[in-house]
Amino acid sequence: MNLTVNGQARTITVEPRTTLLDALRENLGLTGTKKACDRGECGACTVHIDGRRVLSCMTLVAMQEGKNITTIEGLEQNGIFHPLQSAFIEHDGFQCGFCTSGQIMSGVAMIEEVRAGWPSAATTDLAASFSLANLSREEIRERMSGNLCRCACYPNIVDAVADAVARS
C-alpha cells in the first residue's frame, strides 16, 4: 500500500491487522512514535493524519491508503525545530521522555484546532467563536488531557504549550 510519511511517498507491504503505529515503527523504522498502552488510553502514539491528531495504535495502516502522515521525525523543517519542540526543551516539559513525542504532536495539532475555532469541555460559551486569545491554562490542560505523563511534568508541558502559542 501507498502513503506519504513526513513528505515522502512510501510503499509498504503489511498484513491487514497492522496498526499505523506498528507500520511506522516496524516497517518504516520511525521509532520516534512510541508504543505504550496500545489501547488508546495514553496518547504516546499520537501522529497527524492529513493534519489532524490521531492515535496511531487505534487505526489500521490499511485504512490510510493515500493519506499524509506526519510523525515527530517530520516536525522539524530544514534542521530547525518546530517552536513547540524548542519550548519543550526550554520549559523542561519532560523527564523520562517517553510521552514527549506524543505530547508535542498532540500540542501542535491542538493549536491548529484552536485556530480553527474549536471549543473544548473547558469552554464556557459554546455559542461564541473560540480563538488563540482564549487559550487559558485550563483550556490547555483540558485539550491535552489525552496525553498522559507518568513523570507528571504537566505544569511544564502547559508552560511549553502556552509559550509556543504566545510566540506564534
Could you list the residues that contact another protein (CB under 8 A)?
15-17, 19, 38-40, 43, 46, 52-55, 57-60, 62-63, 65, 106, 109-110, 113, 116-121, 123, 126-127, 129, 141-147
* Nearest CB to another protein, comparing residues 15 and 92: 15
Give me the least distance between CB of 80 and another protein, in Å please: 26
Give me the least distance between CB of 141 and another protein, in Å please: 8
* Nearest CB to another protein, comparing residues 31 and 148: 148
Give me the least distance between CB of 97 and another protein, in Å please: 20
Give me the least distance between CB of 161 and another protein, in Å please: 13
* Nearest CB to another protein, comparing residues 96 and 116: 116
User: Cell triple for residue 72?
Assistant: 515527530
Of 134, 138, 145, 136, residue with least CA distance to 53: 145
* Nearest CB to another protein, comparing residues 48 and 82: 48
CA–CA gap between residue 70 and residue 130 (Å, rounded): 26
The strand order across the sheet containing 8-11 reads: 8-11, 2-5, 68-70, 46-49, 52-55
| Cβ-based neighbours of 144, under 8 Å, separated by 6 or more | 103, 106, 107, 110, 157, 158, 161
* Nearest CB to another protein, comparing residues 91 and 143: 143
Of 31, 108, 16, residue with least CA distance to 65: 16
